Amino acid sequence: MKLLVINGPNINMLGIREKDIYGSTSYESLLEIIQNTCAENDIEAECFQSNHEGAIVDKIQEAYGAKDAIVINPAAYTHTSVAILDALKAVGIPAVEVHISNVYGREEFRHHSYAKMACVKSFVGLGLDGYRQAILYLKQHIA
């Protein structure tokens, strides 16, 4: 399985930003968790992070015909980006949405997810383990 893992704005600041919400683990540690999970499960993974909506849309489009599944944490774009929703719908690749924090327990504007409309499942509020669970779910979902 060829997997694309996409992280949106400020995910590269893990370990620095709002530690009470996102914890003290760094973005580099998250990448290590993803790569280890994929290596243990014979999955080829590519990780991508951008603070720019258009770059995320471009990356989703590049996945068409090249990737079997997508794990996406659109971060703040979750609640605003119809462009990311449309890109996910356009490529038709099974996608799982991940959120490190419990977005449904936070501010009301975080309760709505456009990306969720194009995803087969969401893992919310599980910390970095949500990525591992999303990867394992997609492996079973695609098999």
Query: In this structure, are residues 68 and 93 in contact, taking their beta carbons and an 8 Å threshold?
Result: yes
**Residues of the chain by 3-state class (helix, strand, coil), percent to 5:** 50, 20, 30
Number of CB atoms found within 10 A of residue 48's CB: 18
Alpha helices (runs of H) in 13-110, residue ranges in sequence order: 19-22, 27-40, 53-62, 82-91
Q: How far apart are CA 41 and CA 35, in angstroms?
A: 10
Residues noted as catalytic: 22, 99
